[in-house]
């Protein structure tokens, strides 16, 4: 996502009190490290253990994938790339290798035993759904004969591993903050988060938002945006995202008891619609890409919304762990459904195949909780 240099300057001024900014190839990036990046509920984190899980590269590993999507009853058509005709399987054979260490081995039954009797909830848009379905498949592969129950109603989907008393939920909310139907139309309220009452009581919360903030036209689910008493027909989407996410941050500080609930933020999931971002041609997208970007850097650099996430997290007093998936996901131009989705027409370079990249997000989640 590109920003003009003039807009980058304006946004830097807007965020000056909380964020140091620099312009790199026209993109706004944060240069102020935030204090929450590697924290979680027990006060530990990857950096404190001498390893940054989020810096590294992808290596070929014949033992991958962790499971076969055809054996998972919880993966939906939009992510089931093999079922819907993807002809290659090389994208399934890559393992994330952090630069300074190895990721701890993932053990699904150990995860279920540690979270026995607990409730885990993913809160966000379809990128959260992507990770939720991945975790469901990973756990099912570990205990394939375990009794499960599955429910879906309105915004809430629930999978329960009955033998372990572990409930894993997905709560769909595209912006975290509320959209309310009023006389003038559908209003996106940047300072209202009444929907948060549905998230209380979970022992682990994994939040996500960004995917829908850029939607315009017929796919935009609101007609106006409101902050306080001010109603706008539209607003710069990065500024709106910053304001909405700050509201979520205040909700965390007000409602979360860190002694009983761990909080993660999923980080920004990138897209691959512009080949020049990874050194390809301007006309190229993720379609027919079969290998990751080599090395440990992404040619297009970081995303401006990453700086906003870090800024908001730095102002939350409660411990929040940033599952900083952006770089490792940027390198996976090959991991999208592209044309091989059962529910998305056209070329999907936003979501991810399952099995695939989201499994690594969950491996890091597992490591961070260990």
Does the pLDDT of residue 282 top 70, yes or no? yes
Q: Please confirm, yes or no, whether 314 is among the known catalytic residues.
A: no
Looking at residue 296, the DSSP 8-state letter turns out to be: S
For the cut 80, the answer to whether the pLDDT of residue 183 exceeds it is: yes
DSSP letter string over 191-256? T--GGGGGGTT-SEEEE---TTTT--GGG---SEEEETTEEES---HHHHHHHHHHHHHHHHHHH-
Out of 126, 157, 285, 311, the active site residue is 126
Is-contact 311 18, C-beta < 8 A? yes
pLDDT at 1 over 70: no
Structure letter (DSSP) for residue 276: G
Q: What percent of the chain has pLDDT over 70?
A: 86
Separation of alpha carbons 227 and 236, rounded Å: 13
- Cα–Cα distances in Å, from 113 out to 1, 162, 261? 41, 12, 17
Catalytic residue among 8, 348, 350, 359: 348
- Active-site residue 242, yes or no? no
Q: SS in 3 state form for 166-195? A: EEEEEEECCCCCEEEEECCEEEEECCCCHH
Q: Can you give the pLDDT at residue 345? A: 79
Q: Considering only CA atoms, which of 131, 130, 151, 141 is closest in space to residue 79? A: 130
Residues comprising the chain, all counted: 370
Q: 285 — alpha (psi -120 to 50), left (phi > 0) or beta?
A: beta
pLDDT tens digits along 76-99: 999 999 999 999 999 999 999 999
Arithmetic mean of pLDDT, 273-292: 92
* Per-residue pLDDT, 40: 35
Tell me if residue 229 is catalytic.
Answer: no
pLDDT at 158 over 90: yes
Exposure letters 293-308 (e unless 16+ CB within 10 A, then b): beeeebebebbbbbbb
Distance between CA atoms of 145 and 130, rounded to whole angstroms?
Answer: 23
Rg (CA), the chain: 20
- pLDDT in the model for residue 24: 30
Q: From the centroid of its chain, how far is CA 103?
A: 19
Share of the chain above pLDDT 90, in %: 82
Q: Which token pair is 74?
A: 């919880």
Under DSSP, is residue 285 helix (H, G, I), strand (E, B) or coil?
A: coil
Q: In what order do the strands lie in the sheet with 178-182?
A: 178-182, 185-189, 224-227, 230-232
**What is the distance between the alpha carbons of residues 91 and 329, in angstroms, rounded to a whole number?**
13
- Which pLDDT score is estimated for 10? 44
The answer to whether the CB of 156 falls within 8 A of the CB of 171 is yes
**pLDDT per residue over 198-250, tens digit each?**
999 999 999 999 999 999 999 999 999 999 999 999 999 999 999 999 999 99
- Between the two ends of the chain, the Cα-to-Cα distance in Å is 35
Range with the lowest mean pLDDT among 110-119, 214-223, 277-286?
Answer: 277-286
Predicted confidence at residue 49, as pLDDT, reads 53
Reading across the β-sheet that carries 166-172, which strands appear in turn?
A: 148-153, 156-161, 166-172, 119-124, 204-207, 262-265, 321-322
What 22-28 contacts at long range (C-beta under 8 Å, 24+ apart), as own/partner pairs, is: 24/301, 24/302, 25/300, 25/301, 26/2, 27/2, 27/3, 27/300, 27/301, 27/302, 27/303, 27/304, 28/3, 28/304, 28/307
């Amino acid at each position: 996502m590109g920003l003009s240099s003039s807009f980058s300057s304006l946004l830097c001024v807007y965020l000056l009190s909380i964020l140091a900014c620099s312009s790199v190839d026209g993109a706004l990036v944060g240069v102020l490290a935030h204090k929450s990046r590697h924290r979680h509920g027990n006060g530990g984190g990857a950096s404190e253990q001498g390893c940054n899980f989020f810096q590294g590269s992808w290596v070929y590993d014949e033992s991958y994938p962790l499971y076969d999507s055809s054996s998972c009853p919880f993966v939906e058509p939009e992510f089931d790339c093999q079922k819907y005709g993807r002809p290659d399987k090389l994208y399934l054979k890559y393992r994330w290798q952090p630069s300074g260490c190895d990721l701890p081995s993932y053990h699904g039954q150990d995860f279920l035993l540690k979270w026995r009797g607990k409730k885990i909830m993913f809160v966000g848009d379809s990128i959260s759904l992507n990770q939720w379905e991945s975790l469901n498949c990973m756990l099912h592969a570990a205990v394939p004969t375990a009794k499960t129950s599955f429910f879906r109603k309105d915004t809430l989907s629930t999978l329960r591993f009955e033998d372990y008393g572990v409930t894993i939920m997905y709560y769909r909310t595209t912006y975290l903050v509320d959209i309310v139907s009023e006389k003038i139309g559908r209003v996106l309220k940047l300072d209202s988060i009444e929907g948060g009452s549905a998230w209380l009581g979970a022992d682990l919360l994994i939040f996500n938002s960004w995917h829908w903030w850029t939607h315009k036209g017929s796919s935009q689910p609101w007609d106006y945006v409101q902050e306080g008493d001010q109603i706008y027909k539209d607003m710069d989407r990065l500024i709106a995202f910053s304001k909405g996410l700050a509201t979520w941050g205040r909700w965390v500080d007000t409602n979360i008891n860190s002694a009983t609930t761990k909080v993660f933020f999923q980080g920004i999931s990138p897209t691959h619609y512009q080949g020049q971002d990874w050194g390809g041609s301007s006309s190229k997208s993720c379609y027919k890409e079969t290998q990751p970007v080599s090395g440990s850097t992404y040619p297009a650099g970081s995303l401006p919304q990453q700086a906003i996430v870090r800024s908001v997290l730095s102002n939350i007093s409660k411990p929040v762990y940033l599952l900083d998936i952006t770089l490792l996901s940027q390198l996976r131009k090959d991991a999208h459904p592209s044309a091989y989705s059962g529910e998305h027409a056209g070329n999907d370079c936003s979501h991810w195949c399952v099995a695939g990249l989201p499994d690594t997000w969950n491996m890091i989640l597992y490591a961070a909780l260990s």
